[in-house]
Amino acid sequence: MRRKGMQEGTKEIIFHILRRESANSPSYWQKIPYLCRDESETVAFALEKINQDPDYLDLNGKKVGKIRWQRSCLQKKCGACAMVIN
């Protein structure tokens, strides 16, 4: 998705992340926009970039907070182990 005024070659990606506040709280979907500036960026890279900004906001204007995911390969390179694709 490209928005007006975005730099050529930049794409906006919307991450749909299933979250919950604690182990006993109900889960909810958080939609998090991310501007991808390079085709070689991985999901893991994008999630780490989002985590670096404590003021990062979701599509509803709510602070995202830390995104945690399991890395089964322990490489921390692509992020494929964190995804469920429909």
Report which of residues 72 and 3 the model is more confident about. 72
Give residues with Cβ within 8 angstroms of 17, minimum separation 6.
Answer: 29, 30, 31, 32, 67
Condensed to tens digits (0 to 9), the pLDDT of residues 16-71 reads: 999 988 889 999 999 999 999 988 888 888 989 999 999 999 999 999 999 987 76
Checking if the pLDDT of 81 tops 70, the result is: no
Q: Is residue 6 part of a domain?
A: no
Q: What is the pLDDT of residue 14?
A: 95
Q: Is residue 72 part of a domain?
A: yes
Q: Is residue 4 part of a domain?
A: no
Q: Is residue 56 part of a domain?
A: yes
Q: Is residue 54 part of a domain?
A: yes
Q: Is residue 3 part of a domain?
A: no
In this prediction the pTM is: 0.75
Rg (CA), the chain: 14
Range of the domain at 25: 11-82
Which pLDDT band, with edges at 50, 70 and 90, does 79 fall under? low
Q: Is residue 65 part of a domain?
A: yes
Q: How many domains does the chain have?
A: 1
Q: Is residue 71 part of a domain?
A: yes
